[in-house]
Amino acid sequence: MTMTTDEYLVFGLAATVQPGDVVVIGVATPIAAAAALVARESLVDDVTVIAAATVDPAIHDLAEAMVAPEILDRLGVGTFTQSEILDQIQRGRISRQFVSPAQVDGLGRLNTSRIRRPDGSWLRLPGGLATADIAVLMGSLVAYRADHSPRFLPAEVDFVTGAGHERGDAWRRERDLPGSGVRGIVTDKAVLTWEDGWRAASVRPGVAAAEVAAGCGFPVTVAADVPTTPEPPAEALELLRTEIDPLGIRRLEVRETRAAAAADLARWAAGR
């Protein structure tokens, strides 16, 4: 069973979901959405999914939700207002979110705001949305991007949009912050976990352990016997490919396949 990079990311994220989790997914992040849905449908018991602000939408084609987000309101049991969803998060009632920042560093700090160019000037990104908030409020965060290189994984972020582990857990406890920060990173080559430092939990089949360390701008522990990432159940992969995302819009989040996925989506939307 061969998985594409987008599928490896989906199942790497989905495997972090725990029974009882309340997972919130943002807008226009099909890999995160696919991971949450496939985890709920076929991998983990008792998972609540909140899509944008809609609670427990029925299984659906992600392309539909991308083109016509208002269908989510009809697919779910109800929709939070902006105030309600933000309050849920600040009260510590949401346990997991998958995020795709521009950078995540050796201390788990997140940058979604601005990148320093080689000449010293800033490249401004569109803005951090709730990154600074969920870094300290979301039960657990898992960062992902199909770019296992120091570009995505620098020693230090250029700008701290979201706090990491630089001040330790006591700093969070003192402020009664419900979030534990970034606990995992999934790339196109490996799954990393935070254990007072980054450690390779598993490596993608076909990737050499040395590649994992070489692609990180920060120190990462890679055991000599690091396992390969377990394959998902065949029926879960089938569900992703046939029901959750038959068009493959999850490829929008992988640079090499973005243009092809966008063309497929435009063609599909025009024929709808």
Which residue, 43 or 86, is less far from other proteins as judged by CB? 86
What is the nearest approach in angstroms of other proteins to the Cβ of residue 56?
15
- CB-nearer residue toward other proteins: 69 or 217: 69
Concatenate the DSSP letters of all residues of 116-141 into one string.
E-TTSPEEEPS--TTHHHHHHHSSEE
Smallest gap from Cβ 50 to other proteins, in A, equals 11
CA proximity to 95, closest of 46, 168, 57: 46
Nearer to other proteins, 127 or 230 (CB): 127
Instruction: For the CB of residue 23, give the shortest distance to other proteins in the complex, in Å.
Output: 17
Q: Which long-range contacts (CB under 8 A, 24 or more apart) does 239-245 make?
A: 239/38, 239/41, 239/42, 240/7, 240/10, 240/34, 240/38, 243/59, 243/61, 244/34, 244/37, 244/38, 244/41, 244/59, 244/60, 244/61, 244/62, 245/30, 245/34, 245/61, 245/62, 245/63
Question: In this complex, which beta carbon is closest to other proteins, that of residue 37 or of residue 134?
Answer: 134
For the bound state, the minimum distance from the C-beta of residue 150 to other proteins, rounded and expressed in Å, comes to 20
Residue 11 C-beta: closest distance to other proteins, Å: 23
- Tokens read off for 3: 């998985």
Task: Write down the least CB distance from residue 272 to other proteins, Å.
Answer: 11
Cβ proximity to other proteins: between 45 and 176 the closer is: 176
Assess contact for 185 and 153: CB atoms under 8 A: yes
Task: Compare residues 151 and 242 and give the one whose CB is closer to other proteins.
Answer: 151
Q: State the amino acid at position 29 in one-letter form.
A: T
H helices, E strands: number in the chain: 10, 14
> In whole angstroms, how close is the CB of 128 to other proteins at the nearest point?
6
Where on the chain is the footprint of other proteins (CB under 8 A)? 27-28, 52-54, 66, 68-70, 72-73, 79, 81-83, 86, 89-90, 113, 121-124, 126-137, 159-163, 166-167, 171, 174-178, 252, 262
The span from the CA of 56 to the CA of 63, in Å, is 17
Tell me which amino acid residue 267 is: R
The residue (of 138 and 191) whose beta carbon lies closer to other proteins is: 138
Q: Rounded to an integer, what distance in angstroms lies between the CA atom of residue 21 and that of residue 116? A: 36
